Structure 1
Amino acid sequence: MITIYRAPYSTNCERVGLALARKGLGAESIVISYEDRSAVEQVSGQGLVPVIVDEGRVISDSRAILRHLDEREPEPALYPAGVSKRAELDLFCDWFDEVWKLEPNEIEAELELPQPDMERVERLGAVVAGRLGIFERLLADRDFLWGEELSAADLVAFPFLKYARGRDPHDPDLFHRVIDEHQPLGPEHPRLSAWIERVDALPRAFGP
């Protein structure tokens, strides 16, 4: 049995929840609060979630967990078999985590200041909004970001891009408010909107 340490409304935890359900794997959930990370710190030596424990093996970082689950249960695959194709998918995931997230993180940090520079927030927000077109073009002739089948690319991006359609009113997270307010999904994004609906309809191994 897999045990997952997670937090409510965590985007990175949702990546793993989608992957577990895709693989047909069950998991025992241990839900932590951001105010008390002692449970996950005790098991993994650090305070970030998600963390899974699978037959004694402790794995942290959502993308490392996705790779582990794909090795554990190869079908349905989340990563392509070919070395070059897998490298291309990893490059997309690196871009998403290390480039796409930059402006939302900077907006969040700005808004946490006593006197945020709202002009800077708007400039950064325009970059976030403009990137919706990248995903619209990626979906121009296929149902998922990396082809005709669900892949790790979809699981990495979806928990963040879904906020283009709004957020749960019970979700208090400032970062989530940022990616809700600065991703104006419109009529020029029909494929992206359909993709969000398509992935959102998939099962998760646990709730929000």
Structure 2
Amino acid sequence: MTTNSQTTRLYHHPLSPFCRKVRLVLGEKRIEVELLEERYWEGGPELLRRNPAGKVPVLRHNGMLLAESQAICEYLDETVPQPPLMPKVPSERYEVRRLCAWFDDKFNAEVTQPILQERVWKKVMRTGHPDSRAVKSGLKAIKDHIDYLSQLLETRRWLAGNTLSLADFAAAAHFSCLDYISDVDWDRSEALTNWYATIKSRPAFRSILADQVPGIHPAPHYAELDFG
């Protein structure tokens, strides 16, 4: 099942990990999509009409308006079953959902949000100068997360098990946002670097690696599959 850009539209922001997670799933499912960048922080009636929570991503698909990245991704996996991104075994699905929540809640709060807020969003939204303490806190926290993920990858091919899953795309969405501004110490874990290089090379990642945020240039290695 493939949907053309006339019926599938994603309201997003290029450096939102939640939007990137949905884009990666759309790419993996080979669903053609029209991307419309949304300056969600400016609010407005149209954004609230599409999603009363005032957030992105919002996906228009088959006449429906879908919000909340995890709900969108699981909806897509159920309605476009190939390739599957959720395991059939309940215990394995639990692990995928646990890790998705880990990234969208814990990792986002401790790492992605404080770093992007200070280094990207304050500049984009023109809301002041970066707080170096918040950035340092995020850079310190990411080390513990990298160590934890490295432990998982010691016994697994992918983050949630031996098959690619939504958990990998949730993680890759966050790491790719941070990698855009070169805030991931890839030297800390060979296992995690190899995992990211593998998932980064998938066709679903192509549009992500082509992203450009005006006024904020990507790291030199950002789009290189071998990390240069």
Q: TM-score normalised by the shorter chain: which range applies?
A: 0.7 to 0.9
Cα RMSD over matched residues? 2.7
Whether contact under 8 Å (2:156, 2:162) holds in the other structure is: yes
Matches within 5 A, 1:1-208: 1-34=7-40, 36-38=42-44, 39-104=46-111, 105-106=113-114, 116=131, 118=133, 121-162=135-176, 166-167=179-180, 177=181, 180-181=182-183, 183-186=184-187, 188-204=188-204, 206-207=207-208, 208=211
Whether contact under 8 Å (1:18, 1:202) holds in the other structure is: no
Separation in structure 2 between the aligned mates of residue 72 and residue 132 of structure 1, nearest angstrom: 33
* Cα 1:138–1:3 shift into 2, 3 Å: same
Bigger RCO (CA 8 Å, 6+ sep): 1
* Cα 1:123–1:30 shift into 2, 3 Å: closer
Whether contact under 8 Å (1:103, 1:125) holds in the other structure is: no
* Cα 1:114–1:5 shift into 2, 3 Å: closer
* Cα 1:108–1:44 shift into 2, 3 Å: closer
Counterpart amino acid of residue 129 in structure 1: K
Separation in structure 1 between the aligned mates of residue 20 and residue 8 of structure 2, nearest angstrom: 16
Separation in structure 2 between the aligned mates of residue 197 and residue 155 of structure 1, nearest angstrom: 13
CA offsets, 1:146-167, max 9 Å, x none? Answer: 2232200011110212356x32
Aligned residue-pair number: 193
Separation in structure 2 between the aligned mates of residue 30 and residue 54 of structure 1, nearest angstrom: 14
Separation in structure 1 between the aligned mates of residue 9 and residue 117 of structure 2, nearest angstrom: 32
2:217 — aligned with what?
Answer: none
Whether contact under 8 Å (1:29, 1:206) holds in the other structure is: no
User: What's the % identity of the aligned pairs?
Assistant: 25
* Cα 1:7–1:114 shift into 2, 3 Å: closer
> Which structure 1 residue ranges, 5 or more long, are not aligned?
168-176
Whether contact under 8 Å (2:99, 2:167) holds in the other structure is: yes
Separation in structure 2 between the aligned mates of residue 53 and residue 8 of structure 1, nearest angstrom: 17
Cα deviation, residue 62, structure 1:
1.1
Could you tell me the TM-score, scaled by structure 1's length?
0.78
Separation in structure 2 between the aligned mates of residue 24 and residue 108 of structure 1, nearest angstrom: 29
The answer to which of 84-93 and 193-202 deviates more is 84-93
* Cα 1:117–1:206 shift into 2, 3 Å: closer
Whether contact under 8 Å (1:51, 1:60) holds in the other structure is: yes
CA offsets, 1:66-113, max 9 Å, x none? Answer: 100011011211111122221222122112222222222345667867
> Which structure 2 residue ranges, 5 or more long, are not aligned?
1-6, 123-127, 212-228
